Each structure stands twice: as C-alpha cells, then as structure tokens.
Structure 1
Amino acid sequence: MELAMIGLGRMGANMAERLARGGHTVHGFDPGEAARQQAAARGIAAHATLAETVAALPSPRVLWLMVPAGKIVDDTLAQLQPLLAAGDTVIDGGNSNYKDSQRRAVQLADAGIHYVDCGTSGGVWGLAEGYSLMIGGDAGAVERLRPVFATLAPSQDSGWGHVGPAGAGHFAKMVHNGIEYGMMQAYAEGFAILKQKREMGFDLGALAEIWREGSVVRSWLLDLTADALKKNPEMQGIAPYVEDSGEGRWTVAEAIDLNVSAPVITLSLLERLRSRDDDSYTDKLLAAMRNEFGGHAVKKE
C-alpha cells in the first residue's frame, strides 16, 4: 500500500520505516528540514509541503498523522482537507482526546473523507517490537487499511484491532495510559520502599531482574524499569519532576463522569502533579498545623 506519514518526529519516522520495511511505499512530510533529511536517509520519500505530499499519493489517498494532540491536529486538517477528495482516509495515530476525534470524524465525513482514530502504544521500541494499535472508525475503512495495521503491529493477527466507532480507538488508548500511570506509580513506590530499607542492602537492579522471570508482577514495564536501574541505580542527574501528557487526566475525568471509582489511577495522577511543586505551600501549612496543635518542631529552610 502507498501512504503518507505526516509528522516525522522520532515515533512517526520509526513507524514510517517499519512500514517501508514491510513493503509499503511511504511518503512523508514534516515542517522541519532536519526531520525530512533524516527520514529520507531511512528510505522515506520526504516532501517539503503538504500539497506535494498529497499530490504524490495515488487515489484513494491514505495519510497517517503523527503530530501532537490538540490545535496542531486541527490546523493540519484545515490545510489537508482542501487537498483531499471523497474516499480518502486520514488516520490520527497521536494521543488526541476522543471527543476531538469524534468531532473530526463528523467534519470529514461531510466531505466523504474517512477519519480513523488509532491509539498507538509502543514508543521508541515500536520499530523493532511492533506497535499496539487500538483503532476506531468505520469498519469498512479500517478493513481496507488492514495491510498497514498488520505491518505496524507485533504480528499480522495480534496486538491490534478495530475496537469501535469513531473515537473508540483514542478512548481505549486514554484508559490504557491511565492504567500505565497506576502501574508506574506502584513500581516506583515499591522500589522506593526497598531502597529505604538500607539494612538489607538490596540491589534494586538485581531484584528487578529476578521479578522479570516467573513473577506475578512481571511485565514489559518492569523490563524497562530493570534496564533503567541497571543504567543508573541512584537516578543521578534526574530531577524528581514527572510530566503527564493528558491521558491520565482525561481518564480520571471520564471515571468521574461515569461514576466509576478509580482511586489508584487518580492518586497516581495527583502524585505527578505533586512532583512539580518545588516550594510546596501545602506541606508548609501541614507543618505549621502540627506545630499549632501539638507543638511539634518546624524545620526551617
């Protein structure tokens, strides 16, 4: 199949290369010249403009967006839509909010253009290991793209699937990332407890390696944790500041809207927010309250 990858950042370029290795003809576009040059070196026909990219594709066209969620997706679609025709398909493989995906699907459907939302997991390892793909949209459009998804996934018949109508793919990826928040928090807390028990002298990297085989808590995330502990057991040079990319917040908001109790995911999100407060007024006030009611000493800055 011949298609275009719009957005040639690290993940977009890796996906384009995996598709090219799988026998697909891949065109690419990125506003950055350096990204285009790097993509060209990997066998991707990189174009300088969206118009050139669309013109290079046979009809019906297939364009895969790997751009940041939000306004950039809308801006890209605004530039693309006049260049497209009925029967073309746009795939959003980024982490868009599912409500935005539902809106965009309706918008493009009015012009006869298919909009497929594809929650994509696999990160920088996807080039070698394949990507987990959660796909929403019209069943017919998804089926026509089967060769693309089968190439990107770990295998032709596993790690991917059509999960529902427009928005379903990004909704599933949102919850996937919410679960990821909780798992990451549990691993981090557990290893912090082990590290603090200094009298035992635990080798955290060695212990992580033990858990990787046969343990109930084994997972790919634990594999990556073991690798991180091996490289930098003391986490030197890493600030205790944890970002969130939005999906955890959206998961918590949906849980509230749906009256679903999700305390682990919610608390893991709150812990990320807490990590960013270098000068915690909350903690200062807590110390002051303890001093007021119990005369407990306050540690001075």
Structure 2
Amino acid sequence: MADPQIGIYGLGTMGAALALNMADNGISIAVSNRSADPITAFMKRAEPFSAQVRALDTLEQLIEALPKPRLLLAMIPSTAPMDEFLTHVIPLLAAGDTVIDAGNADFHATRARAAQLAEHGLHFVGLGVSGGEHGARHGPSMMFGGAMDSWQGLQPILSKIAARFEGAPCVDRMGPDGAGHFVKTVHNGIEYADMQMIAEVYDLLRNGAGLAPAQIGAQFTRWNEGPLESYLFEITGTVLGYEDALGDGPVVDAILDRAGQKGTGRWTAIEAVKLGQSATMIEGAVAARAWSAEKPLRELAGAALGSDREAFSPEPDDLEAALLAARILEYAQGFRILAAASEDYDWQLDFARIAEIWRAGCIIRARLLDDIASAFRDGAPEGQLFLAPRFAEVFEVGIPALRRLVSQGIAAGYPLPVLSSALAFWDTLRQPRGTAALIQAQRDFFGRHGFDRVDGQDAHHGPWWD
C-alpha cells in the first residue's frame, strides 16, 4: 500500500467508523489501539479495503509509519486519557506534526493542549464530529479548530469523508485552537433543546390528547414532510412506531424515563452564562434531564402532591406553527452564544458557514438551517436571527400559537421547560424597557452598587444614600 496519509489511534465505535469511512473513500490509513483485540476486529471489518489499511501493534510503530509532517488522529476520551496520550507522544513527534482530538472535549482543555503542543513546534486540532456512529462511518458533519497549516493538510481528507449537502462537504475550519470543539458543544446544546421540545410535545399529545405513540409518530412523520423537516423529527416518527419485542405495547413504554447526558449540554449552559448570555432553552433541557434522573423523588412527590393533569388537545396546526417558531428561537440562542465566544476569543466565526455545515450529517440537521444560513448571509439585524426579515411571517403566526400552547399546557399541569423558555425569551427581548431598573435600585440599596440614569446625569446612587 502507499504511505498512510493519516494515523488513527483508538478503534472504539467512533474511531473504527471514521477509519472505515476513510478507507472506503480511498484514503490510505494506519491504525492502532491500546489493546490488540480491537485491532483484530477492525481489520476483519476492513477486509474490503485492505489495500488502504495498515495495522500496527503499538503507538510507537504507528507514529513511525507516518510520513512527515504527520497527521495523528486520536479517538480516545478527551479527558485524562488524552493528557496522558499527549505526554507519551510529544517526544515521539517532530516539529510540524499534527495531533487531532476528534472526541467531545471541553474547549478550554483544547485551547490548553494547543498551547502545550505549540511549545514543541507541534499542532493540536480540536475536531468536532457529529452524526454518531452512522455519521462517522458514512459522512459526518465536522467542525475543525486549529492552525491553518493543519487545516491545509487535513482538508483533502476531511472533505472526502464528510457528509454532503447538494454536493458541498459539511466540514470547514471554524477558527484556531478550541473553536471547533466549542461550535460542536453549542451544536449539542441545541440538540438537547430540540430533543426536550419534542418530548414536551409528545407529552401533550400522549397524556393531554390521549393519542397512542404510533399516532404521535405518524404526526411527527407528517411534520417531517414540511418546514419542520429534520433528522430528530424523522427518527421520532420512526421510534414511536415500534412495538416492544420483549413485552406488550409500544417500546417507548418499556423504556425507563430517565435521560442520560454526557455533559455537552451542561457545558453549553455554563459557557453561555460565563459569556454573559443565557441560553434558557438549553438550560431548560439540561434541567429536565437532571430532574428525569431523580425518579425515586418524582415517584414520592407524585404520591404526596398528586400527579393528575387535565385533558388537553392542542390543534395540530397550532403545534406546527409553535414548534417552528420555537426552533428558530432555539437556534437564535445557540448562535448568540457562538457570537459572544467569537468576540471573546477573537475567533471570527462564520455563522452562515456553521449553519451550512450543519445541514447534513449531524444530529440537528434540518431544513430550517438553509434559511438560517441565508438569514446570516443577508445580514440579520445586529446578527440576531429572531430579527431576520425572512422569519417575520413565521413569528407572526408562530408566536401566538406558541403563546396559546404554553399558556393552555401549563394551565392543564404540563411541564414545558423549553417551550415556555422560548416564549419568555421572545417576550423579554421585545420590551424596550424592562424590569431591571428595580433590580438596580435594590442592588444599590443593599450594596451601594450604583446605577446609570436614563437622563445621563452624574448621580449614580439613590436618595436612600443621602
């Protein structure tokens, strides 16, 4: 075989899928793993592409097999194992070599690692990869963060294995150091909000309107044929149609109502607050997952406080309009976080391009992203999606529908942390004068924090301090 173009270390689910994707697309690769069994299993799967794949027993052999400047992709946990990996490989590499972390990583750690490797003349790339195992194998959406030199070396490889939207690869350089991993983190935060929003609508239709899961699944399938078309709506329609193979009834009823999370949604909420933003829809989704984990408490509270709710049958047209408006607001919050980080870290993120590379391959891919990309390219006022003229008609219909849905749903006893947060976000930002003047007065009264006056006068404390 020809010299490998890239080395891949870590042949777990995602590492193996990316490696197979590369080999399948004619990219010569060298692979290795900490233990031998995954190498054997991978080589069996890679038999159709054996001319493109070389397996090495050790990390040292893998590095030695790569032509300089080396490209070494690590698909291992982006926590302590990554730091241990870097400590081990730095002495084995040469100036100009690039190490790529393709896992979900805290972008602060990515920035620190990039600085650490730069001291040795090495490059470190934080590569956000979205699409799960299927996407990694057949075409993910990828968000590159790192030096331009590394991007020029990796672009031909990543462009071949990326998902495609109308022929264009869904991969691009976001910016330096942690930019790629940060964009992927916000992607996952939006994913959390989208999934929770879907779950809230499912609750209204299942327990409010009394529809069976298969009926609700059919409704999501219908919505997926229109403006709400997206991967998450598509799979919701699919999973709700399945019966339980191990028991009676729908499989969704056999699943414990306790949602897992790996931290990226929580990271998004934390970073939003640090940056002076508040992604309330993402925060609501993170909170809902945390509350779902407290099942014993919920059972106790249900018995003590009662869990009855009133019947409630939202109109399908209202639901569709409300969902479309809420999803735009969900993306608007995500891009506000990206804008704050771009300014704070001088990344110069291209928001239209981010929307474009999310159009295929990733979990939040949706028809709506085409309009979002166009809104940014047209120049959304102050960079705010909810002010973009192309969404005015959507909000004209969708906000009243969202208001009806939230008010009626809450009145009937249904928890709607994401949908209600969307409405609060909208209502807060459309008020030229809000309620913060009272908060500033309180802060000055108890802490002498001062305030600005609307008339510009120099007095910055209240009369209570006279």
SS of aligned partner of 1:203: helix
Does residue 251 of the first structure (1) align with residue 260 of the second (2)?
no
Secondary structure, counterpart of 2:295 in structure 1? coil
1:154 counterpart = 2:157:
no
- Equivalent in 274, 282, 294 of residue 291 of structure 2: 274
Selected match of 1:87 from 82, 86, 96: 96
- Out of 169, 175, 183, the position equivalent to 2:186 is 175
Equivalent residue of 1:144, what SS?
Answer: helix
Matches within 5 A, 1:183-222: 183-197=194-208, 199=210, 203-214=215-226, 216-222=227-233
Q: How far did residue 209 of structure 1 move?
A: 1.6
Q: Structure 1: which amino acid aligns with 2:8?
A: M
Structure 2 contact 95–122 (Cα < 8 Å) conserved: yes
Shift of 1:124: 1.7
Matching residue's letter, 2:147: D
TM-score, scaled relative to structure 1: 0.89
Contact between 1:39 and 1:46, CA under 8 Å: does it hold in 2?
Answer: no
Out of 21, 44, 53, which is 2:62 matched to? 53
Q: Which moved more, 1:8-17 or 1:228-237?
A: 228-237
Between 23-32 and 121-130, report the one with greater CA deviation: 121-130
The one-letter amino acid paired with 1:256 is: V
Task: Confirm or deny that 1:18 pairs with 2:21.
Answer: yes
Runs of 4+ in structure 1 deviating by more than 3 angstroms, as ranges, are 197-202, 281-288
**Offset at residue 262 of structure 1 (A):** 1.1
Following the alignment from structure 1 to structure 2, what is the Cα–Cα distance between the partners of residues 68 and 103? 16
Kindly provide the amino acid, as one letter, of the partner of residue 196 in structure 1: N
User: Quick check: which one's strand share is greater?
Assistant: 1
Stretch moving more, 198-207 or 13-22:
198-207
2:40 is equivalent to residue 37 of structure 1: yes
Give the letter for the 2:97 counterpart. Answer: D
Identity over aligned pairs, percent: 35
Determine if contact 1:39/1:45 at 8 Å carries over to the other structure. Answer: no
SS of equivalent to 1:230: coil
Instruction: State the superposition RMSD in angstroms.
Output: 2.2
1:102 equivalenced with 2:111 (yes/no): yes
Aligned equivalent of 2:151: 142
Aligned residue for 1:224? 235
- 8 Å CA contact 1:66–1:94 kept in 2: the answer is yes
Distance 2:90 2:73 in 1: 14
TM value normalised by structure 2: 0.58
Q: Secondary structure at the match of 1:36?
A: helix
Counterpart code for 2:30: H
Structure 2 distance, partners of 1:269, 1:196, is: 22
How many pairs were matched up?
288
Instruction: Report the Cα distance in structure 2 between the residues aligned to 1:281 and 1:192, rounded to whole angstroms.
Output: 16
Contact 2:185 2:268 in 1 (8 A): yes
Q: What secondary structure does 2:124 align onto?
A: strand
- Aligned residue for 1:8, secondary structure, equals coil
Deviation at 1:34, TM superposition (A): 2.6
Match of 1:239 in 2: 256
- Deviation at residue 139 of structure 1 after TM alignment: 1.3
Range 82-91 or range 149-158, more displaced: 149-158
Gaps in structure 1 of 5+ consecutive residues: 289-301
Partners in 2 of 1:183 and 1:281 — Cα distance?
23
How far the C-alpha of 1:74 sits from its partner, in A, is 0.7
